Amino acid sequence: MSEAERESVDFDRVIDRNEVRTLKFDGEMLESVFGQRDLWPSWVADMDFPASRFIQEALARRVEHGIYGYESDTPELPEAIAHWCRKRHGWSLNPDHLVFSHRTLNSIAVLIELFSEEGDGVIVQPPVFYDFRLLIRSARRKMVKNPLKLEQGRYEMDFDQLEEVAAEPDNRLLILCNPHNPIGRVWSPEDLNRLAEICAANDVFVIADEIHGDITYRTPYTPLASLSREAALNCASCISPVKSFNLAGVANSMIVLEDEEKRKRCKDWFSRFEVNKNNVFTTAAMLAAYTRGESWLDQVIDYLSGNIEALRQFLEQRIPAVRMIEPEGTFLVWLDFRELGLDARQLESFLADEAGMATNPGHWFGREGAGFARLNIACPRSVLLAALERLEQAVQRRSE
Ligand SMILES: Cc1ncc(COP(=O)(O)O)c(C=O)c1O
C-alpha cells in the first residue's frame, strides 16, 4: 500500500449520530421496539465510525460537480470488486459474473423468488439473522431449520441433520451466512466443502450471504464459490461493501453467479423491474471503497479486535456470569446470559429496562438463541465500556 493510500483514523472520537435520522438511535424506533427511548443503542448492525476519508472525498467531489443526471455504467467498478476479492480473499471471480442489486436483502429476496416455488422449503441455520425468516415467509416459502450446535463454547454445523433435511425433495434452497450473524463463526473450508457437497448431491441451491466477509479476526474468510467450480456453480454469493466500509446508507450489493443460465435469469429480473439503474453517489462511494478503502478497513478490524479484547477482560473480571462466544468475524458479539436464569422475555426486559441497552435478545434469531444476546461493538471503546458498566450494575442488582 503506497503512502498516498494510507489514512489515519480516530475511532475513539464520539460523533453525535442524532444530527441525522440514524435508525439505530431514532427515539421513536427505540420506543416502538424496546418500549423506551433512553437506551444505549447497540442493535442495528452498522458502525458509529466515520467512513474512509477517500470515500468522503469521492462523494464530496461528486456533489461538487452539481449535475446528477443519468450516468452510464462504470466498468471500473466490477473490475475493482473482482480485484478486491482476489487480493483480499484469493477468490478469482469474473467481473462479468456480477449482478448488481439494491441491497443484500433485495438480492436474497430475488434469489428465493427465482430459484424456488411457493411452498418449497428454504433451509436456514439458526440462531441466524432474523430477516431471512421474514423474506422466506413473505415469499410464501417454508422455513426449514438446520440448527447449529453449541459444543464447548463453539458453534458447529449439524451435518447429519442437514443430510436429512436436504434430502427432502421440497427443500430447494439453503441460505448460508458466512461469517455467521449473530454467532460470529467464520466457516472453515472443510465446513463449507461438506455443506456444498450435501447441497449439490441433493439439488439444493445455496444462497451464500457473505456480507460480513471482509471483517474477520485471525480466521480467514473463505468465499463458498472460491472452493471449487462445482461449489461456484451451485451457489449465488451475495457480497457487499455495506458492512465492511459502513456504507449502509449509500452502497449497493452484488450477486456473483457462475451458472450462466441462472445469471441470465437474475439479470433479466432486474431489467424487467427496472431496478438496474445506478445512483451516482453509490457508484462514487463503492469505487472509492474498493480501490482506496483498504487502509481504513485494516484499521477498523484492528480497533474492533481491541474492543473484543476490552469486552473479554471486562466480562471476565467484572461480570463473569455473562460469557462471550469468541467472535471470528463480524462486529457483532454473541453473549451468553444463561447463567442469569432468565427466560427469553425476562432477558429482553432485563437488557432494556434494567441495563438500559437496546440490544438484540437472542430469541429474535430463533428459539435456539434464547438466553443469549447480540452486542454490536462497532463504537468508540469509551462508549462500549460505559455501557458495560451499566450492565455490570444491573447484574449486581439482580444478585442483591
Ligand atoms: C447477514 C446479513 N445479511 C444482510 C444484511 C442486510 O444487508 P442490506 O442492508 O444490504 O440488505 C445484514 C445486516 O445486518 C446482515 O447481517
Angle at 303 between CA 47 and CA 130, to 5 degrees: 40
Q: Is the pLDDT of residue 6 over 90?
A: no
Q: How far is the CA of 158 from the centre of ligand 1 (A)?
A: 24
Tell me, what's the pLDDT at 400? Answer: 79
Q: How far is the CA of 108 from the centre of ligand 1 (A)?
A: 10
Residue (of 229, 149, 238, 163) closest to 194 by Cα position: 163
When pLDDT is averaged across residues 345-365 and rounded to a whole number, the result is 96
The sign of the dihedral angle between the CA atoms of 238, 129, 172, 196 is: positive
Cis peptide preceding 361, ω within 30 of 0: no
Superfamily (CATH) of domain 3-53+294-399 = Aspartate Aminotransferase, domain 1 (3.90.1150.10)
Q: Count helices and strands (H / E) in the chain.
A: 13, 15
Q: How far is the CA of 24 from the centre of ligand 1 (A)?
A: 14
Candidate from 130, 211, 332 with most ligand 1 atoms within 8 A of CB, to mutate:
211
Look up the pTM and report it. Answer: 0.97
Tell me, what's the pLDDT at 3? Answer: 67
When pLDDT is averaged across residues 75-94 and rounded to a whole number, the result is 97
Q: How far is the CA of 6 from the centre of ligand 1 (A)?
A: 28
Q: Is the pLDDT of residue 354 over 80?
A: yes
Pocket residues: Cβ below 6 A from ligand 1: 45, 103-105, 129, 177, 181, 209, 211, 240, 242, 248, 253
Q: Is the pLDDT of residue 192 over 80?
A: yes
Q: Which CATH fold topology does 68-291 show?
A: Aspartate Aminotransferase; domain 2 (3.40.640)
Domain parsing of the chain, residue ranges: 3-53+294-399, 68-291
266 contacts: CB under 8 Å, gap ≥ 6: 99, 110, 111, 114, 236, 255, 257
Name the one residue in this structure whose C-alpha cell is 462497532: 378
C-alpha cell at 196: 456444498
When pLDDT is averaged across residues 337-361 and rounded to a whole number, the result is 96
Least confident interval from 5-19, 105-119, 245-259: 5-19
Query: Ligand 1 atom 7: the closest Cα is on which residue?
Result: 104
CA 44 to ligand 1: nearest atom: 14
Query: Ligand 1 atom 13: the closest Cα is on which residue?
Result: 45
SS3 letters for 252-313? CEEEEECCHHHHHHHHHHHHHCCCCCCCHHHHHHHHHHHHHCHHHHHHHHHHHHHHHHHHHH
Give residue-wise pLDDT tens across range 275-316.
877 899 999 999 999 999 999 999 999 999 999 999 999 999
When pLDDT is averaged across residues 7-18 and rounded to a whole number, the result is 92
Query: Could you give the C-alpha distances from 167 to 155, 161, 202, 217, in angstroms and in order?
Result: 23, 10, 6, 35
C-alpha cell at 333: 458479539
The sign of the dihedral angle between the CA atoms of 276, 281, 282, 286 is: positive
CB 387, CB 372: distance < 8 Å:
no
Query: Could you give the C-alpha distances from 377 to 44, 219, 297, 365, 396, in angstroms and in order?
Result: 11, 18, 15, 18, 22
Three-class SS of residue 206? strand
Give residue-wise pLDDT tens across range 100-122.
999 999 999 999 999 999 999 99
Q: Which long-range contacts (CB under 8 A, 24 or more apart) does 250-253 make?
A: 250/59, 250/281, 250/282, 250/285, 251/282, 251/285, 251/286, 251/289, 252/100, 252/101, 252/102, 252/103, 252/278, 252/279, 252/282, 252/286, 253/100, 253/101, 253/102, 253/103, 253/104, 253/106, 253/107, 253/211
Model confidence at 7, pLDDT cuts 50, 70, 90, reads: confident
Name the one residue in this structure whose C-alpha cell is 437506551: 39
Model confidence at 232, pLDDT cuts 50, 70, 90, reads: very high
When pLDDT is averaged across residues 134-145 and rounded to a whole number, the result is 98
Give residue-wise pLDDT tens across range 86-103.
999 999 999 999 999 999
CA 129 to ligand 1: nearest atom: 1
CA distance 357 to 188: 33
Q: How far is the CA of 30 from the centre of ligand 1 (A)?
A: 20
3-53+294-399 and 68-291, same CATH topology:
no
Query: Could you give the C-alpha distances from 354 to 302, 323, 357, in angstroms and in order?
Result: 32, 18, 8
CA distance 129 to 175: 10
- Ranges of beta strands (E only) in the chain are 40-41, 98-101, 121-124, 142-145, 149-151, 154-156, 171-177, 205-209, 235-239, 253-257, 323-325, 332-336, 357-358, 360-361, 372-376
